Amino acid sequence: MTAGAEGVSSAPRRRRLLGLLLVTAGVAAVGLSVAAAITLGPADVSLVNVRDVLLNHLGLADIPVRAVEDAIVWEERLPRALTAAAIGVGLGICGAVLQSLLLNPLADPFVLGISSGASTGAVVIGVFGLGGSALGLSGGAFVGAILAFGLVILLARLSGGGTDRVILAGVAGTQLFSALTSFAIFAFADSDETRGVMFWLLGSLEGVRWDDVVLCAVVVLVGTALCFGYAHALDAFSFGDEVAASLGIAVGRVRMLLLVLTAVITATLVSVAGAVGFVGLVLPHAARFLVGPRHARLVPATALIGAVFMVWVDAVSRVAFQPTPLPVGVGTALVGVPAFVLILLRKRRVP
């Protein structure tokens, strides 16, 4: 080592400072993206209008703004952009965690049957109207997602419990609940009900309200903080359970905790906006491409990239085919697939 004691001791501090700087820049990028996304749409709103409305509502100013603009910004576009950001963060983080825990680069937040469970739950409420008024489509989706996850984990446990068993149980659960959803729609739904459920299944941020924002934000922020706290444990899983155990990780307990955490985050987001596809699969890979596989960097990077990505995809989906909005799940796939292909090509390995 030629670096000497001084070089060794200052390097980690410098890196931490750089990390802090990058995170600050990322948060600023998210804020700017949200502000810019709000200006997009059929009704003309400028960045200045956005600033005025925000300052008014935060009680920092009292600037006269037209009521229409105030309503569009505060009641419609801002909650929608913030929910999109939360979905980007949450699904991205869940994907990163599951890819590490299950040692599978193809894992995404829906690999454990959560999205199909949610769809079954939503269909049961939407088509049969079971407990409809109390729960609503979202409540049904949340309950369905958690039930499906529980069933998948139970199945994995009963069959021995390794990572491959968890994935196989997830495949079985996904297929089962997809079939139940299709069956219910085929046998019982009329065309209006079908369209409503389908639109939501593709992922949609239509009609998102402030209570959705609060719910998503709280769940996602707490979830992200916990995942960041377990960053080292997630690193330890990269060579499998046995190495993780030899590095002092209580493998069974930590894995179950993180699986339940991803299930709660995903179920919450799916219940608000449907199964927005592809984000959870692609974003962790994009982040890994930029900052490497260590989770202390990967978790914040995925969160920030996810937020920016989803805000813009949602904004574009909203305005691209005016006046008909494109379901945001379609938008994420249309943008995400080419991005994914690019990453794969850039990362091409020499055999």
Partner 1 sequence: MTLEARQVVWHRGGALVVDAVTLRPTPGATIGLLGPNGSGKSSLLRLLGGTGKPDSGVVTLDGAELGDLSRRDVARAVAVVSQHAHTDTDIRVRDVVRLGRIPHRGFLGATGTRDEVAVAAALEHTGLTDKADRLWHTLSGGERQRAHIARALAQEPRELLLDEPTNHLDIRHQLELLSLVTRLPVTSVVALHDLNLAAMFCDEVVVLDRGRAVAGGSPGEVLTAELIARVYGVRARVRADERGRLTVLFEPGPVDVPVGLTPDGPPPAAT
* Interaction site with partner 1 (CB under 8 A): 1, 5, 8-9, 11-12, 15-16, 103, 105, 228-229, 232-233, 235-236, 238-240, 242-243, 245-251, 288, 292-294, 347, 349-350
Nearest to 233 by CA among 243, 244, 224: 244
If the CB atoms of residues 56 and 104 are measured against partner 1, the closer one turns out to be 104
Looking at beta carbons only, is 249 or 286 nearer to partner 1? 249
Task: Retrieve residue 210's tokens.
Answer: 């402030």
How near is the Cβ of 281 to partner 1 at its closest, in Å? 15
Tokens of 35: 């502000």
Measured from the CB atom, is 123 or 227 closer to partner 1?
A: 227
What are 279's two structure tokens? Answer: 């984000």
Minimal distance, residue 221 CB to partner 1, in Å: 16
Residue closer to partner 1, measured from CB, 81 or 299:
299
Give the DSSP H/E element, type plus range, for residue 243: helix 241-246
Query: What is the rounded radius of gyration, in angstroms, for the C-alpha atoms of the chain?
Result: 21
Phi (first) and psi of residue 44, to 5 degrees: -80, 120
Q: At what angle do helices 279-291 and 295-320 cross, to 10 degrees?
A: 130
Separation of alpha carbons 184 and 232, rounded Å: 44
* CB 69 to partner 1: min, Å: 43
Min CB(217)–partner 1 separation in Å: 22
Q: How many residues does the chain have?
A: 351
Q: How many CB atoms lie within 10 A of CB 99?
A: 24
CB of 338 to partner 1, least distance (A): 21
> In this complex, which beta carbon is closest to partner 1, that of residue 238 or of residue 322?
238
Q: CA nearest 43: which of 19, 66, 10?
A: 66
CB of 4 to partner 1, least distance (A): 11
Between residues 66 and 232, which has the closer beta carbon with respect to partner 1?
Answer: 232
For residue 308, the minimal CB distance to partner 1 (Å) is 23
Of 96 and 275, which has the nearer Cβ to partner 1? 96
In the numeric block, the tokens 């989803």 are attached to: 310
By C-beta, is 65 or 236 nearer to partner 1? 236
Two tokens, residue 197: 């459920």
CB of 251 to partner 1, least distance (A): 8
Q: What secondary structure does DSSP assign to 119-149, as a single string? A: HHHHHHHHHH-TTHHHHHHHHHHHHHHHHHH
Nearest by Cα to 216 from 105, 138, 295, 159: 138
What is the C-alpha to C-alpha distance for residues 263 and 113, in angstroms, rounded to an integer? 10
